[in-house]
Each structure stands twice: as structure tokens, then as C-alpha cells.
Amino acid sequence: MDKTVSDAKAELVELISTQLSSNKRKLSEMKAEIERTQTFVDREQHKYSDIAADIQNIQANLDTVPREDIRDKYDEAINTRHRLATMRGQLEKFQANYANVEQEQQLLSGILTRLQGADALDLEPEEISEGSSKGVVNIVRIVQAQEEERQRLARQMHDGPAQSLTNFILQAEICQRLFDRNPERAAEELNNLKTAASVTFQKVRDFIFDLRPMMLDDLGVVPTVRRYVDSFREKNDITTDLEIIGEERRLESHREVMLFRAIQELMGHARDYATASQLKVRLDMTGNTIRIAVQDNGRGFDAEAIFSNEEGHTDARDQGLITLKEKFELVGGSMSVVSSDTDGTLVRLELPSGL
């Protein structure tokens, strides 16, 4: 084998091996944290069961138990239930993160195995040293971006709906205690609980839509983009215009997902990083190439610097744009970015329709 090929292959093996070692240490630490949290959950569950038994005993002897003891026992039950619900939420978060890292570990192990066993005799040295290196780095970056997005959603679920559900339990227990002593106050608390449940239900629906809108599979990319833009317009103080060119048609599932996710991500960048007040989205479904254009009037950035030096970017927007460009190029598409402080940012994407 040519020395250039051997050196390039060794660099790739070292790159992936380093990441595998890092993930292995991370998995070990996460496993220990899961075990500690599980122990705490089991202990609190046992404690709560004992308190529940005490409460049943109090209910059976309600006339003889001092009111102060009853109040203290119910307060203890509520506090224990709150701690238990919180720790269960943390445990679920730790377990989800562990599964994500484990999945990445399996993918990298498969890449390493295939790389070490690959027959490179038919490839030119340039293909090995440049193409293979870039390809593996691209895969690693895409996997990391996916896991970061999953972790972001997991944090949002834990801090939002999961915490709200914990509060529901506490409010329900308060209502239960108030029914006999203060029915009017109990009715008020129930009304508050209903309002909070409605808000949380809408948040859960939004999370589901962000994670995987079901209408994307049922109706296709055009109706899904329309729905997302309408929702985005309602929730943000940004004038948002959508233009659809051509007739609605279905594409292969993975292409529809790529188009929708690209629009979703670029609109998020305009809101979160550019602080834009106006946003224009155009989706051109005509011909054998689907074209997307997302333009905002917000704060610009040096796009050329991002793509000319892909290493060392820690900004989430920079990493997101690099990863988005790589995804489209991997399936024969393209991406261009023009940005300035005076004119805002214009991102153009092209993707073969697959027809």
C-alpha cells in the first residue's frame, strides 16, 4: 500500500479511536450516575410507600389523630412525592442521554471496523487521503449534531412538560385535601389545574411537531411547511412570508424530511442569532431540482470564513450551517450563503427531487 494511503488511514483510525475512548469513559460515568439516581428513586419510592401506609392508618383513625400530625404527614407525603417525581425525570433524562451516546458508539465502531477491513487497492491515494478523511469527519459531525439536538429536546421536555406534570400531581393532592374543608377553594384550584394542563398539552404538541410532524408523512412537505410557518408567525414577533412555487407533490420520505428540517433550522437561526424582524421563505417545487431560499433582515456574519475553515467552530449556528451543507452535498445537493450587516442573510439550497 502507498505510504500516503497508509498514513491517511492511520489518521482516520486514530481519530475514530480517540472518539470511541472518550465515549467509553462518558458511558462509564453516565452508567454510574444512572445507578446512583436509581438507588435514590428506589429509596424515595420505599419511603413514599411507608408514608402512604401511615396515611391509610390515619384515615382509619381520623377522629383520634391530632390535626397537627395529620398535616405533618400530608406535607411529608407531598414533599416526598415531589422529590420522587423530580428524580424520576432526571433518571429518564440520564437514560436517554446514555442511549444516545451508546448509539453513537455503535456507529463509530462500525465505521472503524469497515475502515480497518477496507480494501483500498483500487483507490487513488488522493481519494484515501482527502475523500475518506472528509467523509468520516462529516459522518462524525452529523452524528454529533443529531445527538446534540436530541439532548436539547430531552432538556426541554424535562424542564417543561415533565416539571408541569409534577406540579399537576401536587395540585391534585391539594384539591383532594380541600374538598371537604373548603369546596370553593378546591374548585378554584381545579380550574387552575385545568388551565395549566391545557397549556402543557399545547407544549407537548409543539414538541412532537418539532421532533417529527406526523403530517409530514401523511400530507408531504408543502402542507407541513405551511403549518410550521403559520405557527412560527404566531409565536414570534417576526413578519414571516412564505412563497410556494409549483404544484404540490410528494417526494421520497428522506428528501421531504431534509427539506423541512432545513427550512425549520434556517428560520430558527434567523430568530435566535440574527434577531431578524422580517423573514421570507420560498420553496420551489418545479423541475427535477427542489430549491429553497430563506432570507432575513437580521444581523449578518462572515459566511465565507465559516465554510473556508470548518475546524474550531463552537458557535451552534456555525456548526449547524456546516452540517446542513454537508447533508445536502452527500445526496447531490448544494448550499450557498450570502450575508452582510446591511442586507441580512440569504441562504439558498438545492436538492434533486429524485425523479
> Mind listing the pLDDT tens digit for each residue in 35-56?
888 888 888 888 878 887 788 7
What is the per-residue pLDDT for 155?
Answer: 66
- Sheet containing strand 334-340, edge to edge, reads 239-245, 278-284, 289-296, 344-352, 334-340
Residue for cell digits 414538541? Answer: 207
- Least confident window among 258-272, 293-307, 319-333: 319-333
User: What CA–CA distance (Å, rounded) separates 172 from 6?
Assistant: 66
- Residue 328, Cα to own-chain centre: how many angstroms? 20
Task: Name the band, by pLDDT with cuts 50, 70 and 90, for residue 332.
Answer: confident
User: What CA–CA distance (Å, rounded) separates 127 from 12?
Assistant: 13
pLDDT exceeds cutoff 70 at 156: no
User: What CA–CA distance (Å, rounded) separates 140 from 110?
Assistant: 12
Alpha-carbon dihedral 310, 151, 328, 248, rounded to 10 degrees: -150
Dihedral sign from CA coordinates of 251, 254, 260, 262: negative
H or E stretch covering 97 = helix 67-117
Nearest Cα neighbor of 215 from 200, 229, 228 is: 228
Task: Name the band, by pLDDT with cuts 50, 70 and 90, for residue 299.
Answer: very high
pLDDT exceeds cutoff 90 at 74: no
pLDDT over 70 percentage in the chain: 80
